[in-house]
Structure 1
């Protein structure tokens, strides 16, 4: 499967982007994000992206829900980070405290809150954006932790925010576990998020 992305030449605000998204046909299966005011459209990623995404949402969700720490979201949820940036990470955690301090959610709209923890599953189409542009965006907006899952390398990189910059907090490739600094006691075994084959 060849994946290609479309990036608009015209720039938009997050309000304009949200209105455009409301006008999309119901059967549109593409993913849309707004980064630096430019709309980025990508086709659905191929296997094993969805299986990795489901795995991390289940692991993160089970941990957070069992301890009533906050809310978990998958890639269907958009987050309005700035007036020029609206993204939909593959998984996101928002703490109870941050949720309570954010504007009230509106049914069917993007959330106006910076997730505490974001996860991006890399694909050929999104890898550069996830590793560079979105990393910088999450860092600037104050995302406490950023996880990068690479199905091709079977690796997980955990970045933690320290003094306004991301630093490597943990890494595993092939096998082993990665640990969160933000969520004390939360760790993931790579075999639980990467399919066997």
Structure 2
């Protein structure tokens, strides 16, 4: 099952941020995002294996953040309203304290207007790879400083950085949080081995 994109006719107003939040609350069984043109994207739930993968990767970033207290970590239910007006929810997101200082506490109860510094997107069984690659580029265009596209199907992670070509690494190579998640390293093969 692939994601479904609902096209909003041009003569209708696009959902406001509050209307989008209300729409998501009214449809809790759906995984919903909004692209930069206002189209609503409804994604199928992931299989259990993908959920396990997301959970393990989230746990690694969360544990690092628990030690450093450098920001906040979100999982796939946390939506971010980005500068291009899209609302996206990465499988794993991390946002620094510095970026969070500009966000009002009440905004955090909804889809806050802040871009994560770091994201991980995991290719699930239902994901289209080219759509995920385009989504990673959109993350960068909106201010993400480091992104990883983890693909369990081919056991590679593609690293995305602003102004650089994506770099593909096998799961067996240790990844670095570079100057974004300072001191963070992860070997995906070790994390996903049970």
TM-score where L is the length of structure 1? 0.84
- Per the alignment, residue 8 of structure 2 pairs with 10
Q: Please state if 1:127 is matched with 2:126.
A: no
Q: How does 1:1-197 map to 2 (within 5 A)?
A: 3-10=1-8, 12-15=14-17, 16-24=19-27, 26=28, 28=29, 30-36=30-36, 37-82=38-83, 84-106=85-107, 108-123=109-124, 124-132=126-134, 134-161=135-162, 165-168=163-166, 171-181=168-178, 182-196=180-194
> Is the 8 Å Cα contact of residues 103 and 112 (structure 1) preserved in structure 2?
no
Q: Give, in angstroms, the shift of residue 192 of structure 1.
A: 3.6
> Deviation per CA, 1:137-158, whole angstroms, max 9, x where unpaired?
2121111111111011111122
Q: Give, in angstroms, the shift of residue 128 of structure 1.
A: 2.8
For structure 1, the residue ranges without an aligned partner over 5 or more in a row are none
TM-score where L is the length of structure 2? 0.86
Rate the CA distance shift 1:139–1:174 in 2: closer, same or farther, 3 A: closer
For structure 2, the residue ranges without an aligned partner over 5 or more in a row are none
> Is the 8 Å Cα contact of residues 81 and 114 (structure 1) preserved in structure 2?
yes
> Is the 8 Å Cα contact of residues 5 and 41 (structure 1) preserved in structure 2?
yes
**Counterpart-to-counterpart distance in 1, 2:104 and 2:190:** 35
Q: Give, in angstroms, the shift of residue 175 of structure 1.
A: 1.5
CA RMSD for the aligned pairs? 2.0
> Deviation per CA, 1:51-72, whole angstroms, max 9, x where unpaired?
1111111111111110111100
Q: Give, in angstroms, the shift of residue 118 of structure 1.
A: 0.9
**Counterpart-to-counterpart distance in 2, 1:80 and 1:69:** 21
> Is the 8 Å Cα contact of residues 93 and 118 (structure 1) preserved in structure 2?
yes
Q: How many residues align?
A: 186
Q: Give, in angstroms, the shift of residue 79 of structure 1.
A: 0.6
